[in-house]
């Protein structure tokens, strides 16, 4: 079983502007709302956080 972790992103020189990008593409910042995304298809809304297969 593979372990996936998010990627830490931020702005150099500012400790406050740090966020984590999850493996499915959501942006999470400690103490703030999460920015997530969805894909509208003909049959349904695809939620990357809940999909079994993720392709790029």
pTM of the full structure: 0.56
Domain, as residue range, for 11: 7-50
The answer to the question of residue 27 being in a domain is yes
The answer to the question of residue 55 being in a domain is no
Tell me the CB-side half-sphere exposure of residue 51, using CA atoms within 13 A.
14
Q: In the chain, which ranges are E strands?
A: 7-11, 14-21, 27-28, 39-40, 45-46
Domain count, the chain: 1
What is the reported pLDDT for 15?
Answer: 64
The length of the chain, given as a count of residues: 56
The answer to the question of residue 56 being in a domain is no
Q: Using one digit for the tens of pLDDT, what is the confidence trace for 2-54? A: 445 667 776 777 666 778 888 878 888 878 888 888 889 999 998 888 887 76
The answer to the question of residue 1 being in a domain is no
The answer to the question of residue 36 being in a domain is yes
């Amino acid at each position: 079983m593979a372990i996936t972790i998010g990627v830490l992103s931020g702005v150099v020189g500012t400790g406050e502007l740090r966020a984590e990008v999850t493996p499915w593409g959501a942006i999470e910042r400690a103490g703030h709302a999460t920015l997530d995304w969805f894909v509208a298809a003909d049959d349904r809304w695809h939620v990357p956080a809940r999909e079994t297969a993720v392709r790029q």
